[in-house]
A and B are shown apart, each in its own frame.
Chain A
Amino acid sequence: MIRKFIAKAYIWILLVILYAPIALIAIFSFTESKVLGNWTGFSLGLYRNLANSGMDGGSSLLSAVENTLVIALAAAVFSTVLGTVAAIGMYYLRGGKRKVINFMNNIPMLNPDIITGVSLFLLFIFIHLTQGYVSVILAHITFCTPYVVLSVLPKMGQMNPNIYEAARDLGATQIQAMRKVVLPQLVPGMVSGFILAFTMSLDDFAVTFFTRGTIGLDTLSTYIYTDARKGGLTPELRPLMTLIFIAILILLIIINVREQKLAQKSELKK
């Protein structure tokens, strides 16, 4: 009994500490003061500002959010395609070649962000690619694809290898057999790879920072960084982060409830 209490208390104390900064942002999104921690009375002004600047379309904060989403979507789509094709091929590779590509696939995962960022920065200089949208997306594809490969590869292993052969025997061309028989089996792996790639791209700071060039391209992370270094955060960031947090919270709860229902259903079937 006492043990159970201590265990529960430990978990909840950790959670309270973990969420204190996020709660601080949320609380101070309802006051208009410039500095976090200075309460100047309840107001929805910051939310109003955020919504208004969204209507005008001219706010640099919202264009940073837009860039973040566009880059994450592009990076996730490209790395899912590249990673899925690669995983199909890698599954049939044997021996030394398999080892080499596995090793190479590990490089972007093991490299710390800053090394990935600096090394790609040097690459883009070397190949004379003007840094901007394209270089950032290429960089994001680089660190996202290995995770897609690792999500799809196990699905290849779980698949019955004979069904591809069966499709071919029944007259399907190679492309047809891949598209109609193999690909549908890989979809769960592709989806989780896509989600992983999307969230990692959203959260990235260091790689974007080094590969965005000097054209003034900002994602949410680099915007916050530049803003904080100038001293003082844009107050509208507080309602924005609060809204993002609530959106994610709702999304996760929906996913979780759905999964539990699915699990219950499959148990009932048994």
Chain B
Amino acid sequence: MAVKRYTWSYPYFIFLAVFAVLPLVLVAVYAFQDSGGHFTFANILRFFNDSDALNTFAVSIEVAIENTALCLLLGYPAAWILSNSKYNRSAVTVILFMLPMWVNALMRTLATAGLFNMLGVNLGKGTLLFGMVYDYLPFMIYPIYNVLNKMDRSYEEAAADLGATPMQVFWKITVPLSKAGIISGIMMVFMPTVSTFAISEFLTNNKVKLFGTIIQENINSSMWNYGAALALIMLVIIGITTFFWNDDNKMEEESAI
């Protein structure tokens, strides 16, 4: 007898259960245990009483928001120009923007820090932001470029024919139609910036600590339970953000219909 074809997905189902779901369950389990394996809220409470950790958390969110905003501000015009046949006809320019993504991110970051040192700029929060924009700008440009490139340009022309000013065309037609690209760009920049650790260490000489760094420090010094609690907190924040984004999108889609 022939096997039903959907059963081909079962090995992957088991794989995901073991390597994607179980690990997250373990994060939660470790977060609510003391080192002896007993149930406790102490790890979570410790975070909320640890002013250093709270501070780091706030700084991480702030840096991530600022970085995402800067990438969007710089990246959107770039994506728009690249996708516009009036200004750019060669695919090579687009490739040039993607190419740095293939160079090892740590190496690029170290070179950026080296560049600042050469120019005599002191490493600190400013250089951190600059370096992060460096690292993540291509991730913002690419999805927006993709959406703009596939967009039907006749909508813009129609709006212009009907008397809209170029500004109006841009804000009322181009931006709303490229929303999917903007959202995936924001996700692709925001998520990694919240959780990065090596980049901030290199770009600030350890002056600015991000949330990822304290997770890494705790795990590496064998404080697994507190490390897991911090990871769980990050997970919750990310879960909430994704959930709201998705919710937002659904509402948009429904209202569009």
Residues of A within 8 A of B (CB-CB), count: 79
Q: Is A233 an interface residue (CB 8 A)?
A: yes
With A228-B110, A233-B110, A237-B107 given, is the CB distance from A112 to B192 under 8 Å?
Answer: yes
Are A174 and B134 closer than 8 Å at their CB atoms?
Answer: no
- Which of B9, B15, B192 lies at the interface centre, i.e. has the most chain A CB atoms within 10 A of its CB? B9
Q: Does B7 interact with chain A (Cβ within 8 Å)? A: yes
Cβ–Cβ contact B27 & A93, under 8 A: no
Give the chain A neighbours of B77 by CB distance below 8 A. Answer: 10
Q: How far is the CA of A104 from the CA of B7 in the complex (A)?
A: 16
Given A112-B238, A122-B27, does the pair A15, B96 have CB atoms closer than 8 Å? yes
The number of inter-chain residue pairs (CB within 8 angstroms) is 229
**Shortest distance from the beta carbon of B206 to any chain A beta carbon, whole Å:** 9
Are the C-beta atoms of A119 and B78 separated by less than 8 Å?
no
Is B198 in contact with A112, judged by CB distance below 8 angstroms? no
A203 & B104 in contact (Cβ 8 Å cutoff): yes
Q: Mark A89-127, 1 if CB is under 8 A from B, else 0.
A: 110111001000100110110111111101111110110
Interface size bucket, B side? Answer: 35 or more
Say yes or no for B148: interface residue by CB 8 A criterion.
no
**Interface of B (DSSP majority class):** helix
Chain B residues with CB under 8 Å of A52's CB are: none
Which residue from A20, A82, A122, A126 sits with its C-beta under 8 Å from B11?
A: A82
Q: B9: which of A21, A86, A205 is its contact (CB, 8 Å)?
A: A86
Q: Is B195 within 8 A of A210, CB to CB?
A: no
Q: Which residue of A lies closest to B87 (CB)?
A: A7
- What's the minimum C-beta distance from B55 to chain A, rounded to whole angstroms? 19
Contact residue among A22, A37, A229 (Cβ-Cβ distance under 8 Å from B108): A22
Contact of A22 among B17, B111, B191 (CB under 8 A): B111
Residue A245 CB within 8 A of the other chain: yes
Bound complex: CA A241 to CA B114 (Å):
15
A239 within 8 A of partner (CB): no
In the bound complex, residues from chain B placing their C-beta under 8 Å from that of A145 are 12, 15
**Chain B: CB-nearest residue to A221:** B106
Contact A89 B6 (CB under 8 A): yes
Which residues of chain A come closer than 8 Å to B3, judged between CB atoms?
174
Least Cβ–Cβ distance between A103 and chain B, in angstroms: 10
Q: How far is the CA of A173 from the CA of B188 in the complex (A)?
A: 44
Are B231 and A119 interface neighbours, CB within 8 A? yes
B23, CB-defined interface residue at 8 Å: yes
The listed residue (A21, A94, A209, A241) touching B112 by CB distance below 8 A is: A21
Q: Does B81 lie within 8 Å of A89, measured CB to CB?
A: no
Contact B27 A119 (CB under 8 A): yes
Quick check: is A2 within 8 A (CB to CB) of the other chain?
no
Q: Which of B91-128 contact A (CB under 8 A)?
A: 91-93, 95-97, 99-108, 110-112, 114-115, 117-118
Q: Give Cα A83–Cα B8 distance, bound, in whole angstroms.
A: 10
Given contacts A14-B74, A113-B195, A260-B91, contact A21 B134 (CB under 8 A): yes
- Interface residue? B5 (CB, 8 A): yes
Interfacial residues, chain B to chain A (CB-CB below 8 A): 2-13, 15-24, 26-27, 30, 74, 77-78, 81-82, 84, 86-88, 91-93, 95-97, 99-108, 110-112, 114-115, 117-118, 134, 137-138, 191-192, 194-198, 201-202, 212, 215-216, 219, 224, 227-228, 231, 234-235, 238, 242
Given contacts A21-B134, A92-B6, A115-B27, 13 further A-B contacts (CB under 8 A): A7-B81, A17-B134, A25-B111, A82-B12, A92-B5, A107-B20, A108-B19, A114-B197, A114-B231, A116-B23, A174-B3, A206-B197, A209-B216
Q: Can you list 28 A-B contacts (CB < 8 A)?
A: A8-B88, A11-B81, A11-B82, A14-B78, A17-B134, A20-B115, A25-B111, A36-B111, A85-B12, A86-B9, A88-B8, A89-B6, A94-B6, A104-B21, A107-B20, A112-B194, A114-B196, A115-B235, A115-B238, A118-B228, A119-B26, A120-B19, A174-B2, A205-B106, A221-B105, A221-B106, A241-B104, A248-B103
